[in-house]
Structures are given as structure tokens and as C-alpha cells.
A and B are shown apart, each in its own frame.
Chain A
Amino acid sequence: MNTIYFDHISATPLHPLVKETMINFIQNDNFGNPLSQHHIGDAAVEALEGARDQVAQLIHANPEEIVFTSSGTESINHAIKGVAFAKFKKGKHIVSTNIEHQSVARTLRVLMRLGYQVTAIPVDKYGLVDPKDVEKAITEDTILVSIMHANNEIGTIEPIAEIGKITSAKNVLFHTDAVASGGNIPINVDELGVDLLSMAANQFYGPSGAGALYIRPKTEIFPLIDGGTQENNRRAGTQNILGNVGMGKAAELARMEMPQRTEHLLKLKKAFIEKLNTLEEIHINGHPELSLPGLVSVSVEYVEGESMMIMLEGEGICVSTRSACAAGSLRASHVLIATGCDYVTAQGTLIFSFGTGNTLDDIDKAFAALNKSVTFLRSMSPLYKKK
């Protein structure tokens, strides 16, 4: 059975050219430590700095503003804790939202235990934050605003540039979690007005275990990991050079291929939504336009998400769900609940995230399988009454 992979929001396959670049890097015996003062070390520095430049270009930053990390999560932890610890004498208040990824929400929770206060901004039915709410939430004690660029469950793209103007005017640092958006939609750190931005390579056809944090010059921030002088003293520890080289290549390809990728993904998304709309009693989550091009979150009434996911898996179709039974948590998606979705509907949600390798034929097969599973599961749902 051929696998149809519709879970690119969790991880993307390696781009063939990224794979080739990484294999060449290994085959050329590049094992040096960039801190070594000899030519083997110099070769490692060259590879690392080349990758840094490629990542910087993707987000219109300068290479020295990029810190390589192990993941998007580490980048987020570094940004939030780094600012909190550096600025604790100025204030202990952080503004965020109700729909952040766990890596932001749990980091904030740790800080709350340490005495920091967090204001969580609500969102509208599309998952959009109102910049005016952010402005109102900022106080004299506010040291950081952390708001995601695009939501990883419903795809909504937040008005980061508008919020950036507010934080800049109020002289408050601004971090955005761009893990879901980085490499998938255009990013210009100056236009967004962010001081810190987190990304992960496995979201744009690069390797897992490679992330980056953009830090605007003169931003006061503590390192998350202490030790050596790597990454210009901002992150200790020998770099994952192979991963960074892969991330660099993936960033270069994302920058070059983004228009074609976007066009392809939007075509798939439009075709899939048209088919979904033929089903009874479904809801497409997220903003209809301000949304990631390759992501569709759909809630199906009277059916539970994990059941649908298992049935699709049986047909070789990989999707994800926030209906948390399988993921170890039982609660409904906090993102959907924050948009006003009720518990039962939230539990019946599937996330389809398309990639460059998907085709319209994949869409047809996935929809046919989904339709079959919905009919089967509704036939035994105590809530469903056929119209």
C-alpha cells in the first residue's frame, strides 16, 4: 500500500537536495570541531557559517543574528527564558496568547512558578489575536511579548507586523514562534518588527534536530546553555554541524522554491476544502485567507478524531489529530477551545498538512477514505441523526 503523507506540520521529508548535501558533507570526512585552531576545524567553521548565511537570507537577517539550536523548542525556550532572566530586574510580566504551542505555554508555566506573571490574550473565532488587546495588556512591568507567527493546529497567521509596531513603540521585546511558518511563508524580521524568532528545519524539508533562533543585535538575553564560547557566546555546546548544513540547504531551497511550493499547496488546499464542503456538518478551522498554504484543520461533528485517524491510517493515509487520546493527553485542543469550538466538536478534529510531494490524486484518495470513515463512525455515534 502506498503511503500518502499529510502530516507535514509534524515533520517534512528531507528535500532530495538537502539529503545530497548532507551525504556529501559526511562523505568528505567533515568531522572537525569549529573551535579547533587548525585547517580541519576551519573547514567546519566554513560549513557552519555558510549554513548560517543561508538561514539568515531566508528571513532577511544578517548571519551574525542567527544562533543554531537543537530544535524549535530550544529556540523558544532560549528566547523566552533568556529574556526573562536577563530582564528580571526591569519587570516580570510577559504577554502571550491562549493558542501558543506547548513549548511556549509550558515555558511560561515554568516562569510563572518562578514568580513571573503572564497575560494570555484571547483570540477570535479564526484564532486571530487583536493587536489592540496586546497594546492594552502591556504594562510598565512587561519585558516580553511572545506571540506565534502561524498556528500549528489551525494555520492562522497572526498580525505580527502590527504587533511589532506596538512593541517597538512601547520598547518591549517581541518574540515570535515561527516554527510552523518558517520556510513556508515569507518572513522578513525587520518588516515583522520582531526581536527574536524561532524556527525548525524539519518544518521546511530539512533535518530534524536542527533549529535556529534569530536575535536582533543588542537584545539583552541570557544563554539557555552555558559552557563554551560557541555561537558567539550565545549557545554553548559543539554544534550539530551536519544538521546545520542540512538546515542551511533547506533554507536556501525554501527561499528559491517558495512561490512554486505555495502555488502547489494552495491548489491542493482549495481542492480538498471543496471536497470537504460536500460533507454534512463539518467545520473548517482557522482563518479562511490568513492561513498557512498547506494546512487544513477540519472538525467533523459526531465523530471522534482519533477514530478517523486510525481508519485513514488503515488506508495508508497519515494525518494528525489533537483529539488527544493517542497523544497521551485526553483534553480537547486548547487552540480550538480558545476559538470558541465546543468540546465534542474539538475532539472530532483532523489536521491535514500537505507537502510538495503530494498530488491532487492524493487529495481524491484521502477524501474518499475520510468520507468512508465518517459514514462508518457516524453510523454508531449516539449523537448523530441522519437528516
Chain B
Amino acid sequence: MEYSEMVMDHFKNPRNKGIIKNPDGIGEVGNPICGDMMKIMIKVEDERIIDIKFSTLGCGAAIAVSSIVTDMAKGKTLKEAMKITKQEVAKTLGELPKNELHCANLGADALHMAIIDYYNRIAGKQKDTSREKVDYIGKRKGKCYCPYCDTVFLSETLFCAKCGKPTAGQNK
């Protein structure tokens, strides 16, 4: 197993898992290819995150990232929390396998989206649903597409002519 001790600790003993009833902001992100899905809820008082919880469907890295990013944001002002970068999350967590760095991106993105959602709510704006189409797990029916480079084909094909990777079954 390639995970560091810190990743394993946050995976096995996740901090801040659960839900907040009537949260002030919710951020949801997902990766359509690997299927990870992350939801972060925040409670805000005087521009400060006083409570934060997550629920995550994903690999060990995704769960560990959810745990650490909520730990990092807890108690911070919204401005400070917005400055938490994906690089910082990955660094705090120690080494992450290269192919799972995207999980750190999800964690920072979910946090930022929860904060943006909070600001939108107090400004009375509608929830932005445009991202759901790309963020949620692939539901693109009727077209054969390459899950790697996103090339769409006119008819079913076993392999992507652009990047060469197999597309078999992706159009089901």
C-alpha cells in the first residue's frame, strides 16, 4: 500500500465525519472518472467556520483528504479558509500517490464551494447547479466518448482514435 502513515491515520480515524443539520453552506464535488464524491457542510458565525463536517464516497486518499481539509478549515475565518490550496492540503497530508493527487483537489474545491454557497445564500442567490453536470458521476447517454480525453465519437468504437485508450463499454 502506497499511503503514508498520516493518510492511513486520517482514513481509519476520520475527523469531522457526519452531517450538520441546517448548514450555512454546502460544497459538493465529484470526479466523473474515478467516482469519488465529496460533500462538505459548514456552520458559520461572525465570518468564522465554527463547525464543519464531511461525507465522502471515495478511495482512501479521498477520505483522508476530507478529514484533513475539514481539520485545516475548522475555526478559521472564511477568508483564511478560502486561501487553503490543493497544494497545501496535499502537503499537510504528506505524500500522496501521484495518481491520487486529484483527491486533494476535490477536498479544497469542496471547501471553497461550501464557502461560496454560504456567500450566495446570504446574498439571496440561487444555488449554481451548472457544475453538477460535469461534477457528478458520468451520465452521458447516447454518445460514445473517451473517458480520458473526452473525445466524442459519432459511432461506437473500442479504442479512442485520439489518445488510443480503450473506450469499450463507456457508451452504455
Contact = CB atoms under 8 A, between A and B. Distances in A.
B158 A108 contact: yes
Contacts of B57: 302-304, 344, 381-383
A330 interface: yes
Interface in A76-131: 98-99, 102, 105-106, 108-109, 112-113, 118, 120
Given A310-B60, A314-B12, A382 B39 contact: yes
A167 to B, nearest CB: 20
Interface string A341-359: 0111011000000000000
A73 to B, nearest CB: 16
Interface string B127-149: 00000000001100000000110
Interface in B3-56: 3, 8, 11-12, 14, 17-18, 28, 31-39, 54-56
B34 A112 contact: no
Interface string A311-349: 101100000000111101011101101101011101100
A331 B158 contact: no
A152 B139 CA distance: 27
Given A105-B168, A340-B172, A310 B11 contact: yes
A347 B63 contact: no
Contact of A380 (B35, B54, B159): B54
A344 B1 CA distance: 23
A123 to B, nearest CB: 9
A99 to B, nearest CB: 8
B39 A306 contact: no
A109 B55 contact: no
Interface string A368-383: 0000000001011111
A334 B172 contact: no
Of A98, A120, A304, A346, most buried by chain B (CB within 10 Å of CB) is: A304
A382 B28 contact: yes
B77 interface: no
B100 interface: yes
Contacts of B12: 311, 314
Contacts of B34: 323-325, 330-331, 347
B124 interface: no
Given A98-B168, A334-B166, A337-B170, A112 B55 contact: no
Contact of A307 (B33, B60, B148): B60
Contacts of A381: 55-57
Given A310-B11, A330-B31, A380-B54, A323 B59 contact: yes
B158 A118 contact: yes
A214 to B, nearest CB: 26
Interface string A145-169: 0000000000000000000000000
Contacts of A342: 137
Contacts of A304: 35-36, 57-59, 62
A24 to B, nearest CB: 36
B63 A306 contact: no
B61 A325 contact: yes
Interface in B70-122: 97, 99-100, 102
B37 A383 contact: yes
Contact of A120 (B8, B58, B59, B168): B168
A314 B54 CA distance: 23
A152 to B, nearest CB: 15
B59 A382 contact: no
Given A303-B57, A307-B58, A307-B59, A323 B35 contact: yes
B59 A338 contact: no
A382 B36 contact: no
A265 to B, nearest CB: 27
Contacts of A303: 57
B14 A347 contact: no
A271 to B, nearest CB: 28
Interface of B: 1-3, 8, 11-12, 14, 17-18, 28, 31-39, 54-63, 66, 97, 99-100, 102, 137-138, 147-148, 158-159, 164, 166, 168-170, 172
Q: Give the 8 A-B CB pairs with smallest separation, nearest first.
A: A347-B35, A330-B34, A338-B169, A337-B169, A325-B59, A382-B55, A306-B59, A382-B39
Interface of A: 98-99, 102, 105-106, 108-109, 112-113, 118, 120, 302-304, 306-307, 310-311, 313-314, 323-326, 328, 330-332, 334-335, 337-338, 340, 342-344, 346-347, 377, 379-383
Given A98-B169, A302-B57, A311-B12, 18 more contacts: A105-B166, A108-B159, A109-B164, A120-B158, A307-B60, A314-B12, A325-B61, A326-B59, A328-B99, A331-B147, A334-B168, A334-B170, A337-B168, A347-B34, A379-B17, A380-B14, A380-B56, A381-B57
21 contacts: A98-B169, A102-B166, A109-B158, A109-B166, A304-B35, A307-B11, A307-B58, A313-B1, A314-B12, A323-B34, A326-B59, A337-B172, A338-B169, A343-B35, A380-B14, A380-B55, A380-B63, A381-B55, A381-B57, A382-B55, A383-B37
